[in-house]
């Protein structure tokens, strides 16, 4: 497990940040969904509330935990973007953590909102996806690779 830096943790706590979970199905097809409940717990794990046991996301998470497959979590706000790779660690179906997520869901979506489970993900890699940072990293690694030959003529 890696420790997420304070800036990334703060982004997870920002209600204006977009938080996305990426999984794959049994055929390897990507499944990417917005999950506003994604948060970083005090122990550094990432968690989110799942509202449906039969959802594609939940089925993919079960497959990932059974077969030790990674998932990705992306958090974006303004020009800042981070992709965190991790592995599902646990699915919580009762207790104080589930209650906390259920109460938060009802604050955001109303009294009929439901949470069936809380998935906990262990982060193991962070990739900065901020466009300016990615361009700079790529330019250092491959100075001529990502440069169109007619770049100067096209402007």
- What residue ranges define each of the domains in the chain, with the CATH number in brackets? 6-130 (2.30.110.10)
Which residue in this structure is represented by tokens 């030790």? 68
Q: Are 14 and 5 in contact (CB under 8 A)?
A: no
What is the C-alpha to C-alpha distance for residues 121 and 92, in angstroms, rounded to an integer?
A: 11
Percent of the chain with pLDDT over 70: 93
- In whole angstroms, give the CA distance from residue 82 to residue 8: 8
Place 32 in a pLDDT band, splitting at 50, 70 and 90: very high
Residue 49 has pLDDT above 90, yes or no: yes
Q: Are 31 and 69 in contact (CB under 8 A)?
A: no
Q: Are 30 and 22 in contact (CB under 8 A)?
A: yes
The pLDDT value given to residue 151: 64
Q: Which two tokens stand for residue 57?
A: 């996301």
User: What phi-psi label fits residue 44: left (phi over 0), alpha (psi between -120 and 50 degrees) or beta?
Assistant: left
Q: Is the pLDDT reported for residue 148 higher than 80?
A: no
Tell me how far the alpha carbon of residue 17 is from its chain's centroid. Answer: 11
Check residues 149 and 74 and name the one with the higher pLDDT.
Answer: 74
Q: Is the pTM of this model over 0.85?
A: yes
Contact indicator for 13, 21 with CB cutoff of 8 Å = no
């Amino acid at each position: 497990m890696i420790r997420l830096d304070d800036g990334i943790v703060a982004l997870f706590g920002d209600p204006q940040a977009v938080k996305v979970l990426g999984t794959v199905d049994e055929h390897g097809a990507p499944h990417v969904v917005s999950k506003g409940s994604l948060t970083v717990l005090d122990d550094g794990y990432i968690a989110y509330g799942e509202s449906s046991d039969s959802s594609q996301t939940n089925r993919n998470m079960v497959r990932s935990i059974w077969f030790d497959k990674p998932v990705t979590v992306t958090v974006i706000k303004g020009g800042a973007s981070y992709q965190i790779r991790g592995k599902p660690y646990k699915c919580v179906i009762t207790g104080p953590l589930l209650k906390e997520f259920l109460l938060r869901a009802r604050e955001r979506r109303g009294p009929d909102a439901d949470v069936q489970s809380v998935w906990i993900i262990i982060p193991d890699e962070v990739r900065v996806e901020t466009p300016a940072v990615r361009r700079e990293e790529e330019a250092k690694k491959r100075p001529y690779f990502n440069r169109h030959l007619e770049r100067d003529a096209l402007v």
